[in-house]
Chain A
Amino acid sequence: MEAPPVTMMPVTGGTINMMEYLLQGSVLDQSLESLLHRLRGLCDNMEPETFLDHEMVFLLKGQQASPFVLRARRSMDKTGMPWHLRYLGQPEIGDKNRHALVRNCVDIATSENLTDFLVEMGFRMDHEFVAKGHVFRKGIMKIVVYKIFRILMPGNTESIEPLSLSYLVELSVVAPAGQDMVSDDMRNFAEQLKPLVHLEKIDPKRLM
């Protein structure tokens, strides 16, 4: 686990230690419709929800080897929504008994001057992207299917191009630490999406 260069004690000390359980996969553009169709059938009956978000990833380098990363996200298609600041810990693959990737996570809603604040603190933006896609829920599980767009001109979210011909599919649950049972539900759900999408625990370190 990375230790934050600035004091972050309140985050892990006082509040509940929340963990995000994550499975990832992707679907090709031409199969998106069948996946959405299946998800509509499998998930809770709710209004189809789409999102268009702009995410900026900020780094703070300290004496430690790995930098401290914060993610700022804002909605581009809905006005009046708060910005979303997110801290994600180092993912743990775990053993075979746990069917999902687990990482620490802290989610905070913020005002819109978040970027200024981060920059003032000494963070600098590492990269940014636009995410556009669909959200589904089933109980506490959240399923997002979205396309990642590169931003051609920094800061200009109008000129974007898709990163690939696939949509990223993420199945996640945010739960207090130690609730590994949720990963069983996630595995079961992921089974139902096969063979359309294979949701797996993917170690990002492997892809560095």
Chain B
Amino acid sequence: MVAQSADLAQPLLKNLQLVVPMTEVPCVHQWMVLANITHIGDPPGFCQLVDFPLDLITWTLTWPKFWNLLLGFALDLREEKQLEVTLEALISQVADLKNSLVSFIYKLENEYDRLTWPSVLDSFALLSGQLNTLNKVLKHEKTPLLRNQVIIPLVLSPDRDEEIMRQTEGRVPVFSHEVVPDHLRTKPDPEVEEQEKQLITDAARISPDVAQKQIQSLNKMCSNLLEKISKEERESESGGLRQNKQTFNPTDTNALVAAVAFGKGLSNRRPPGSGGPVQSGQPGTGPIIAGASGMQQVQISGAPTPQQPMLAGVQMSQASQPGKMPSGIKTNIKSASMHPYQR
């Protein structure tokens, strides 16, 4: 029947070979068996992996026994399949992690002169995310208990092993007694284990009251420390601010706003009645000059012309001095007319 004991509590070997009496299994039941294996949730065709030399008769087997066997076999296969899937996921996660680490190390080694803090943080965030994913895979409910899997070194050799060299990317050249304890280690050093045990027994000896007190004092210390750190932080921040405080000057703000709003401080430089220099003419300054000098001319000529009735009227009503005026007075009018707007 089987190469192993029929006891279902015992795990079955992978290369278990089923040898079933053909006569005992009617055609209909054969199909039932196969259908049940595939029904468990494995991909179609999975049952083909199982080698059923159904025509060989080496053992006699009653139908219920055979059924139980097959079911246990299928369950075992499913577990194995899950282990495989999990291992694949773990390997791909670890590969991702490794790639990120490699690129981060590369960055640190080759771009340290132009590396910015945000980009370092990005790298850290990536690594932490990948570690989280790895943990999730490990804690997934479908992940079989990996601690139940045992790895035994079958062959130790002091010779160079090209295959291992390739798989470890040149990190482990030999699979010898020297490296195996480190690479296949699943527990801490015996010394560390001893210390841990010591600590646990120490902890168990303390009475709850004492423990409570110790917790309280530790919490107090921590909060004190935190407060000190945050205080220091705040001070250095405000110190930094004080240092950089002169980024703007409210007086300047006001001066600039007043300048754009109503030209405060802009026209002061212009000497009163400075029509002269403008009229003397600057060639090549274009229409602005023409406009400006035109305006000055209006001011100075003073006499109301039919072309500028509005402005002349304004000037007259404000000055209430119709008729002839010496040009000096007119200058005053000009500044007087500017004044109310400027103030």
**With an 8 A cutoff between CB atoms, is B247 at the interface?**
yes
Closest to A61 in B: B314
Interface size on B, residues (CB 8 A): 58
Contact B298 A119 (CB under 8 A): yes
| Chain A residues, Cβ within 8 Å of B15 | none
Report the Cα distance A120→B286, complex, angstroms: 17
Contact A119 B252 (CB under 8 A): no
Given contacts A150-B266, A155-B293, A156-B282, whether A116 and B287 have CB atoms under 8 Å apart is yes
Report the Cα distance A34→B248, complex, angstroms: 12
Contact B341 A207 (CB under 8 A): no
Q: Number of A-B pairs whose CB atoms are under 8 Å?
A: 166
- Chain A nearest CB, measured from B110 CB (Å): 26
Contact B248 A168 (CB under 8 A): no
Report the Cα distance A46→B118, complex, angstroms: 22
Contact B292 A155 (CB under 8 A): yes
**With an 8 A cutoff between CB atoms, is B58 at the interface?**
no
Contact A24 B278 (CB under 8 A): no
Given contacts A115-B291, A127-B263, A129-B266, whether A166 and B311 have CB atoms under 8 Å apart is no
Contact B337 A166 (CB under 8 A): no
Closest to A118 in B: B291
Report the Cα distance A198→B247, complex, angstroms: 10
Interface size on A, residues (CB 8 A): 59
| Chain B residues, Cβ within 8 Å of A120 | 307
Closest to A71 in B: B260
| Chain B residues, Cβ within 8 Å of A164 | 252, 255-256
Tell me the B254-270 residues at the A interface (CB within 8 Å): 254-267, 269-270
Contact A195 B341 (CB under 8 A): no
**With an 8 A cutoff between CB atoms, is A187 at the interface?**
no
**With an 8 A cutoff between CB atoms, is A176 at the interface?**
no
**With an 8 A cutoff between CB atoms, is A109 at the interface?**
no
Tell me the A50-77 residues at the B interface (CB within 8 Å): 54, 56-57, 59-63, 65-67, 74
- Chain A nearest CB, measured from B191 CB (Å): 54
Residue interface mask B200-217, A partner, CB < 8 A = 1: 000000000000000000
Contact B289 A126 (CB under 8 A): no
- Chain A nearest CB, measured from B291 CB (Å): 3
Contact B341 A204 (CB under 8 A): no
Contact B288 A126 (CB under 8 A): no
Residue interface mask A146-164, B partner, CB < 8 A = 1: 0010111111110000011
| Chain B residues, Cβ within 8 Å of A119 | 291, 294-295, 298
Contact A115 B259 (CB under 8 A): no
| Chain A residues, Cβ within 8 Å of B343 | 208
Binding site for A on B (CB under 8 A): 241, 244-250, 252-267, 269-270, 274, 277-278, 282, 285-296, 298-299, 307-311, 314, 317-318, 337-338, 340-343
Binding site for B on A (CB under 8 A): 5, 24-28, 30-31, 34-35, 54, 56-57, 59-63, 65-67, 74, 112-113, 115-116, 118-120, 122-129, 148, 150-157, 163-166, 168, 195-198, 202, 204, 207-208
User: Nearest 4 CB-CB pairs, A to B?
Assistant: A115-B291, A127-B263, A166-B252, A204-B261
